[in-house]
């Protein structure tokens, strides 16, 4: 499947029905388009099976609740719909996007309690999120935008509006020839990349930012479990920028990113070392097991 995302063959599940890809449209006055009342999940299928599928569906419901709306489909119904989308499009290795949003209705202002909640699921083939950086090590810029305080946003929801500063940061990074950008949080601690969590290695131990103001990714949690199974100490803590000079290795985790080594962040450089390579290969083996 190739071409612009609104001009492809295939089917998209939308509000309980399979519709033609090009016909999966919403009205201009959809509330989410104006006020970001939208949540989503990014998932990957391997050999026809979506990795951690139910956890993603459960988080979609959690995110919707954080934005004060209820998805009118149960986790079981979402699970069945995702599988249906894969099968009807003949996909086995694919990316899956589920998105729920407040649609067009009687309200057209900040308040939208009268508007229907809608749900759609699409799937397509998608290769390495960072291209050959998965093997060579990604290069990251340092974003000027910071992850906000939990007092200002529903920071643990996977909500569309929270990615506005991520888009700005990634565009700026790409303009400098980088794959992505590292973001600090509102206190100045190292936080995450624009769509992936960060891990660092020092003296055989792993350090990762504490997710107290950003998303605690499902892939992040998976990789922590893999490290703990190997008896490798993992420190979830606040990390100051000046500590980056002391770390030997670094990698990113995310459903789209999977496990991707990092070779450079700003002026800091990292080795694409044995542990980073091991986590890339071990994660690949896990999702296909």
Q: Which residues, in sequence order, are CB contacts of 140 under 8 Å at separation 6+?
A: 173, 178, 179, 180, 181, 182, 193, 262, 264, 265, 266
Active site residue 210: no
Q: How far apart are CA 1 and CA 206, in angstroms?
A: 38
Contacts of 19-25 spanning 24+ positions with Cβ under 8 A: 21/122, 24/120, 24/122
Q: Which residues, in sequence order, are CB contacts of 26 under 8 Å at separation 6+?
A: 33, 103, 104, 118
Tell me what percent of the chain is helix, strand and coil, each rounded to the nearest 5.
30, 30, 40
- b/e map of 51-77 (b: 16 or more CB within 10 Å)? bbbebbbebbbebbebbebebebebee
287, two tokens: 């999702």
Contact at 8 Å (CB) between 249 and 221?
no
| 135, 138, 139, 141 alpha-carbon torsion, rounded to 10° | 180
Which of 11, 134, 139, 158 is flagged as catalytic? 158
DSSP state of 280: H
Q: How far apart are CA 8 and CA 279, in angstroms?
A: 35
Q: How far apart are CA 149 and CA 186, in angstroms?
A: 6
Catalytic residue set = 158
């Amino acid at each position: 499947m190739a071409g612009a995302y609104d001009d492809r063959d295939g089917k998209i599940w939308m509000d309980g029905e399979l519709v033609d890809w090009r016909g999966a449209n919403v009205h201009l006055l959809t509330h989410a388009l104006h006020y970001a009342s939208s949540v989503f999940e990014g998932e990957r299928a391997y050999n026809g099976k979506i990795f951690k599928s139910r956890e993603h569906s459960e988080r979609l419901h959690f995110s919707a609740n954080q934005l004060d709306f209820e998805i009118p489909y149960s986790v079981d119904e979402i699970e069945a719909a995702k599988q249906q989308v894969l099968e009807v499009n003949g996909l086995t290795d694919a990316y899956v996007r589920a998105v729920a949003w407040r649609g067009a209705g009687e309200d057209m202002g900040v308040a939208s309690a009268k508007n229907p909640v809608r749900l759609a699921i699409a799937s397509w083939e998608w290769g390495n999120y960072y291209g050959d950086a998965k093997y060579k090590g990604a290069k990251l810029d340092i974003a000027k935008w910071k992850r906000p305080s939990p007092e200002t946003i529903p920071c643990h929801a996977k909500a569309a509006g929270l990615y506005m500063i991520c888009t700005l940061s990634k565009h700026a990074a790409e303009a400098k020839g980088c794959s992505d950008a590292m973001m600090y949080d509102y206190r100045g601690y190292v936080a995450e990349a624009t769509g992936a969590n960060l891990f660092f290695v020092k003296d055989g131990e792993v350090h990762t930012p504490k997710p107290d103001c950003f998303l605690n990714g499902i892939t992040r949690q998976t990789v922590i479990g893999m490290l703990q199974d190997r008896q490798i100490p993992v420190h979830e803590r606040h990390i100051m920028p000046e500590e980056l000079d002391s770390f030997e290795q670094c990698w990113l985790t995310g459903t789209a990113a999977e496990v991707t080594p990092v070779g450079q962040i700003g002026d800091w450089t990292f080795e694409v070392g044995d542990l980073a390579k091991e986590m890339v290969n071990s994660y690949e083996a896990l999702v296909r097991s």
